Structure 1
Amino acid sequence: MEYRKLGKTGLEISLLGLGGFHLLEISFEKIRGLVKTYLDAGGNYFETAHAYGNGESERKLSKVLPSSGVVIATKTGKRTAEEAKRELLKSLKNLNRKHVDILFLHAVTDDKDWDRIISSGGAIEALEWAKVEGLVRFVGITSHGYGGTLLRVLKEYPFDLFMTQFNYYDRFNFPEIETKVLPFALSNNIGIIAMKPLADGFLFRSVERAFRYVKTLPVSCIVSGINSLDQLKRDIEVLDLPVYDELELAELQRLAPELGNYVCRLCLECLPCPEGINIPALFLAEGRFDRQMLNGEYEDVQDYALRDRLAHWFQSEKQARLEYQTLSPGVSECTECGVCSQRCPYNIDIPRKLKIVKSKFEKGYIW
């Protein structure tokens, strides 16, 4: 098992982290075997939350974790200091621990959410209280989808670490995570935990590609939701593969089946549009809206069901609409000249895709 340093915390953690949500789905005996195999392989990072089954994930882990030699993280989704304090104390009781290594503020996704947290009586006070009382060693924040608020948060408060999604699919729906948040974190020695390497399961057919991609990034740990020994062994095996070089990354971006000839890679080769349309910005807004998953063409019923379930997983529609509304000229100005499609190195039918984007944002439009 490879180990990487977790930013300013100084902790050395295993590249593969064991997520706690999916432990709700399996029996205690299976969890015992899963944890033993993970520990035997060198894994040392366990993550859970009180919100996972109202403490059930924490209680299950408490019965199988060793008393030392592991890093334990839990989360609170509460936004006031008093509620967050109470939830942390419940988590400690569930975990049968006097303290945890890491406490995350869970799922901080927009500016209003952050404003509540840092206001008088907000949850940030609970984190500071917990550190003073010795109940937590380090504090972090988790975020999903759009990274604008996450970047603001990291600039305004000295968190020790953060966790958000990293995968080669959402790289093109929320590019600011890799282009802005990641560099800021690295320059300020903030620990980086990656989650959703399989894009919530969307990349289940491409496990090797998915894990190699995230391993290539300068993250400290990749947390995976695992509910079987087969999944665990597979994840350990693929993480033993080498990182991608630049040519391999370009090849992945070009040929990944989940990206296909629909997902915009934001390469800008389609510009300039004769009508002045900012084509990549419109497709980026679509990425915020539904992760560019609903494309009107599906391989089979399973593919459709998965896309339909995951399209709005991050709930970034508000940000998507804000971005869409600021773009002028809009989709209606497209003359379908086809120049953009001829330039696109990924063979995207851009006029068709623009119609789909319009149908998503403007009720009643049929493409």
Structure 2
Amino acid sequence: MKYRKLGNTGIEVSEIAFGSEFLVERPYEDTEVLIQACEENGINFLDCWMSEPDVRSHLGRAIKGNRDAWVIQGHLGATWQNEQYVRTRDMDKVIPAFEDFMQRFQIDTLDFGMIHYVDLLEDYEEIMNGPFIEYVRKLKDDGTIAHIGLSTHNPDIGILAAQNPEIELLMFSINPAFDMFGSMLDIEEYRKEDAYDREFSSINPKRAEIYELCEKNGTALTVMKGFAGGNLLSDETSPFGVALTPVQCIHYALSQKGVSSIFVGVKNPQELEESLKYCDATEAEKDYSQTLKNAPKNSYKGQCTYCGHCQPCSSGIDIAMVNKLFDLAKYHDEVPASIHEHYNNLKYDATECIACGECEPRCPFDVHIVDVMLDAQDLFGFKMF
């Protein structure tokens, strides 16, 4: 495992880091096994944005005996309300949720207090000129958090964060697909015949500016969505029409200016091993250029990456899971029994959708969620009780 410094903080972290999003609704033993596998392979960097209580408790228990070996990103603004993840700036919810994080992780100091998921300019301005940032500053002054970070999918917010000396770390979604189409505001540029002729011609200028700024200003840059929710790893779901390997995706992210580390979301040690192959991969195995050069001109706009930011659902639906099962099933002539069973075991399925549309403005990728729920109803049918 190789290590890189996190911007001006001086902290060294593993190039491959552990993203723990797939630990939701999993027993403690799964967390323990993955944490042990990370430690055995030199991974020392962990991100937890999930507000689900058991995830936090399990991670805290698993790292307790080796806390000093880990650098941790924890998020402020990710809360657990009515058994659902809710992103909020309501300080009456933000403060107890953060205190819960610290208690369940059994830590006194958090390495990076992350301002969670800021994708709108109004949200950024409200945070930076109100009680939210005042609370974050107090946490830093008190020594409860060592450094301030921010996570976003929006290049415009990324630029603002990289220019803000108070933000010491930026967590940003980076992969070949997202970089090609940037913020989706200039999508026609990426449908031109020569858009993919040169190796880096496809990177959106705003996204390239973020990477330059982070390197220039010493803002640590960490990567989320490196596999685009797993979509890049499958021929059927890749916007290029052909799968990339985890090694290629990791290499792409780590090749961008300013990037220190990429968080990989894995369910078990076997999936982790696929990412760890990067450490010993040849240059040929890392090379993604031919895939990008021959990529179809497809946009990622409207494609669910199962990030969960659409929550909460007023009907209690796990929207990301319904989307994922729908995507898995729609490529088959008949819905596989295993997928159908998983769908039937959901507490609330697509039939509970009331088409209120409240989830759609929260989606970073402009997925028409209500339409997906209707399509899922047609595909899976109604439950038979």
Scaled by the length of structure 2, what TM-score is found? 0.65
The 1:10/1:169 distance shift into structure 2, 3 A limit, reads: same
The gaps in structure 1 that reach 5 residues or longer are 264-286, 306-310, 319-367
* Structure 1: distance between partners of 2:304 and 2:229: 14
Of residues 54, 57, 61 in structure 2, which corresponds to 1:56?
A: 54
Amino acid at match of 2:274: R
Q: Is it true that 1:148 corresponds to 2:147 in the alignment?
A: no
Structure 1 equivalent of residue 264 of structure 2: 224
| Secondary structure at the counterpart of residue 43 of structure 2 | coil
Of residues 198, 204, 213 in structure 1, which corresponds to 2:252?
A: 213
Amino acid at match of 1:31: T
| Secondary structure at the counterpart of residue 74 of structure 1 | strand
Distance apart, 1:31 and its partner CA: 1.5
* Structure 2: distance between partners of 1:110 and 1:83: 20
* Structure 2: distance between partners of 1:116 and 1:23: 32
Distance apart, 1:198 and its partner CA: 0.7
| Cα deviation digits, residues 267-313 of structure 1 (max 9, x gap) | xxxxxxxxxxxxxxxxxxxx4742699xxxx99933999xxxxx999
* Structure 1: distance between partners of 2:59 and 2:18: 11
Distance apart, 1:9 and its partner CA: 0.9
Structure 1 equivalent of residue 167 of structure 2: 159
* Structure 2: distance between partners of 1:40 and 1:193: 22
Q: Is it true that 1:104 corresponds to 2:114 in the alignment?
A: yes
Asked if structure 1 preserves the Cα contact closer than 8 Å seen for 2:178 and 2:300, the reply is: no
Of residues 162, 171, 176 in structure 2, which corresponds to 1:168?
A: 176
* Structure 1: distance between partners of 2:40 and 2:74: 22
* Structure 1: distance between partners of 2:159 and 2:130: 22
Q: Percent identity?
A: 18
The 1:299/1:251 distance shift into structure 2, 3 A limit, reads: farther
| Cα deviation digits, residues 317-336 of structure 1 (max 9, x gap) | 49xxxxxxxxxxxxxxxxxx
* Structure 2: distance between partners of 1:249 and 1:239: 16
The 1:231/1:33 distance shift into structure 2, 3 A limit, reads: same
Distance apart, 1:240 and its partner CA: 3.0
The 1:214/1:156 distance shift into structure 2, 3 A limit, reads: closer
Structure 1 equivalent of residue 36 of structure 2: 36
| Aligned residue runs from structure 1 range 163-312, under 5 A | 163-174=171-182, 175-176=204-205, 178-205=207-234, 206-207=244-245, 208-218=247-257, 219-242=259-282, 248=287, 250-255=289-294, 259=295, 261-263=296-298, 287=299, 289-290=301-302, 301-302=330-331
Distance apart, 1:21 and its partner CA: 1.4
Structure 1 equivalent of residue 89 of structure 2: 79
Of residues 144, 161, 168 in structure 2, which corresponds to 1:135?
A: 144
Structure 2 equivalent of residue 308 of structure 1: none
The 1:314/1:15 distance shift into structure 2, 3 A limit, reads: farther
| Secondary structure at the counterpart of residue 274 of structure 2 | helix
Asked if structure 2 preserves the Cα contact closer than 8 Å seen for 1:212 and 1:244, the reply is: no
* Structure 2: distance between partners of 1:300 and 1:132: 50
| Cα deviation digits, residues 204-257 of structure 1 (max 9, x gap) | 2322322222232231111011111110111111343256799x55423113xx
Distance apart, 1:118 and its partner CA: 1.7
Amino acid at match of 2:261: C
* Structure 2: distance between partners of 1:8 and 1:242: 30
* Structure 2: distance between partners of 1:61 and 1:37: 13
Distance apart, 1:37 and its partner CA: 1.1
| Secondary structure at the counterpart of residue 150 of structure 1 | helix
The 1:101/1:161 distance shift into structure 2, 3 A limit, reads: same
Distance apart, 1:4 and its partner CA: 0.6
Asked if structure 1 preserves the Cα contact closer than 8 Å seen for 2:72 and 2:112, the reply is: yes
Q: Aligned residues, how many? A: 279
The gaps in structure 2 that reach 5 residues or longer are 78-87, 183-203, 235-243, 306-326, 336-359, 368-385
| Secondary structure at the counterpart of residue 229 of structure 2 | helix
Asked if structure 1 preserves the Cα contact closer than 8 Å seen for 2:303 and 2:365, the reply is: no
Distance apart, 1:99 and its partner CA: 1.2
Structure 2 equivalent of residue 27 of structure 1: 27
